[in-house]
Amino acid sequence: MRRLVLTVAVVLLLPPSAQAESIFAGPVSDARLAVAADGTPTVAYVSGGVLSIARRTLGSWPAQTVALPGSDVEIDGVSIVNDGETLVLARDRNGTWLALVTETAQGLRVHLIHPDAPKDLIGPSGLALDHHGRAVLAYALWVPSHATYLRLVREDARGRLVTSRITRGGFPSTPTPAGAAPVVLASGALRVVETYLPAAIEWRPIPNNDWLGQFLHGTALGVPTGRVGVAANGSAVFAAWTEDYPTLGPPGVMLAVHKHHVFNGLALQNAIFAALALTPHGAELAANRCVADNVCGALVAGTELDGIVADYAADATGGRQVLLVDATGLAWYRSPAPLAVHVTLGAVEGQLAGRVDGASGGSVAVYRENAGGSRTLVATVPLAPDGTFTATDPTLGPAAPAAYRAVWTDPATSIPYASLFPQPSG
């Protein structure tokens, strides 16, 4: 479970990265982003067992709050209905309850779902909206015998939640709780992706109230862990999740695509899944990577950022929206175009040297990163006309640092582009 909460565990140890639109100044156990059709972002976050839903309004983030029955909470989904109402799916990380939180005129309403028996657990779940704007939930119930029961929960026309089964007979058997998430295709058809040890299955409904499964992935070496992200483009289903490798090394991010055929592969090595976004150019992933304990950074669509990425989305105008957590708390950033700045950092003849591609002018802050998460500013150096920079570390003592980090902050968007040295493997 350590790796499942890594993105939350390190956030308080990272220093502030840039001036951005602050949403919450304080520690969060999880945060997620949803973008309306007009590009307006809504952020759901949990701190101290209190769920807040904040919608950007004229550059500020007023929030509604509601208490949840626990403090170690993850957010498994956020959706915005056509009328602007926000739905949030939250889960106790220990698997003892699932909560659908609905935004109403009277405030936030919480509907709790509990396991069938005291020792049963609910695995990471998912939320979608059908073509009527009604909630669709999927989760897998895990019992101590290792049997699982995949369930679908749908909101009916009267607002009631109706539960039905997808799998029966305890299939599949797995020693750890399974993850699940629904997705609605452009045609209105429903699919549910389930991840478990040692595979991933896409389920689709068939006649006679039954379901048919298509394997997306399977390996005896990996263990799917945490939340599974799903999205659809036409009839194609995309799924991404963290795959742990207990006997081989660090975890990675697996990506699977199913249309007429199934394609899958390890998209990111040494990374923990954070978000999956579909764009006109294809799927883009957000993840977090570490070089040492609490020395981590964000990898968003192939670009490194300073901080921990909580979520990432593409909006209808081609912009990219990023939710980052650092020592100041939770902040939102937007780029009007795909992220196109890349920072590199290395060592040359005893000096730290690097380059910022896609930037013109400005300066780079170079930090010495220490194991445990503290950092020291080594130097702030200007970019040369060709985008290169060099710096030395006058504070270097007998103990070598865990890493160095270079940060270039975009003056237009405040997005903190960064590079760690040494780089995470993979």
- Tens digit of pLDDT at every position of the chain (426 positions): 333 343 333 333 333 333 589 999 999 999 999 999 999 999 999 999 999 999 999 989 999 999 999 999 999 999 999 878 999 999 999 999 999 999 988 899 999 999 999 999 999 999 999 999 999 999 999 999 999 999 999 999 999 999 999 999 999 999 999 999 999 999 999 999 999 999 999 999 999 999 999 999 999 899 999 999 999 999 999 999 999 999 888 999 999 999 999 999 999 999 999 999 999 989 999 999 998 878 899 999 999 999 999 999 999 999 999 999 988 899 999 999 999 999 999 998 889 999 999 998 999 999 999 887 788 999 999 999 999 999 999 887 777 788 999 999 999 999 999 999 987 765
Can you tell me the distance from the alpha carbon of 151 to that of 229, in angstroms, rounded to the nearest whole number?
17
H-helix or E-strand containing 388? Answer: strand 388-391
- The two tokens of residue 60 are 């500020």
Write the CB contacts of 106 (distance below 8 Å, at least 6 apart in sequence): none
Does residue 150 contact residue 140 with C-beta atoms inside 8 Å?
yes
Residue 6: alpha-carbon gap to chain centroid: 12
Can you tell me the distance from the alpha carbon of 209 to that of 262, in angstroms, rounded to the nearest whole number?
25
Residue 400 in domain:
yes
Write the CB contacts of 342 (distance below 8 Å, at least 6 apart in sequence): 303, 304, 356, 357, 358, 417
C-beta atoms surrounding 252 within 10 Å: 24
Do 276 and 154 belong to one domain? yes
Residue 187: alpha-carbon gap to chain centroid: 26
Do 121 and 216 belong to one domain? yes
H-helix or E-strand containing 9? Answer: helix 6-9
pLDDT at 425 (0 to 100): 62
Can you tell me the distance from the alpha carbon of 46 to that of 110, in angstroms, rounded to the nearest whole number?
14
Do 329 and 359 belong to one domain? no
Do 197 and 310 belong to one domain? yes
Residue 134 in domain:
yes
Do 231 and 262 belong to one domain? yes
Buried b (16+ CB within 10 A) or exposed e, 344-370: bbeeeeeebbbbbeebeeeebbbbbbb
User: Does residue 223 sit in helix, strand or coil?
Assistant: strand
H-helix or E-strand containing 21? Answer: strand 21-24
The conformational region for residue 249 under phi > 0 = left, psi -120 to 50 = alpha, else beta, is: left
Give bridge partners of residue 24 from the DSSP assignment: 330
Can you tell me the distance from the alpha carbon of 379 to that of 387, in angstroms, rounded to the nearest whole number?
17
Specify the CATH number for the domain of residue 127: 2.130.10.10
Q: Is the dihedral of CA 237, 241, 246, 250 positive or negative?
A: positive
- The two tokens of residue 36 are 């309306």
Residue 217 in domain:
yes
Examine the fold and report which residue of 300, 335, 370 is the final residue of a domain before the chain moves on.
335
Do 260 and 389 belong to one domain? no
Can you tell me the distance from the alpha carbon of 354 to that of 421, in angstroms, rounded to the nearest whole number?
10
Q: What share of the chain is helix, strand, coil (3-state, %, to 5)?
A: 0, 60, 40
Tally of domains in the chain? 2
The residue segments making up the domain with residue 352 are 342-409
Give bridge partners of residue 136 from the DSSP assignment: 128, 154
- The two tokens of residue 354 are 């690097």
Do 232 and 166 belong to one domain? yes
Examine the fold and report which residue of 335, 358, 379 is the final residue of a domain before the chain moves on.
335
Residue 190 in domain:
yes
CA 291 to each of CA 260, 298, 348, 355, 363: distance values in angstroms, whole numbers, following the listed order: 39, 12, 20, 20, 24
Indicate the pTM of the whole model.
0.93
Do 9 and 118 belong to one domain? yes
pLDDT at 272 (0 to 100): 97
Write the CB contacts of 386 (distance below 8 Å, at least 6 apart in sequence): 355
Residue 426 in domain:
no
Examine the fold and report which residue of 305, 335, 365 is the final residue of a domain before the chain moves on.
335
Does residue 265 contact residue 255 with C-beta atoms inside 8 Å?
yes
Do 243 and 294 belong to one domain? yes
Residue 173 in domain:
yes
Write the CB contacts of 158 (distance below 8 Å, at least 6 apart in sequence): none
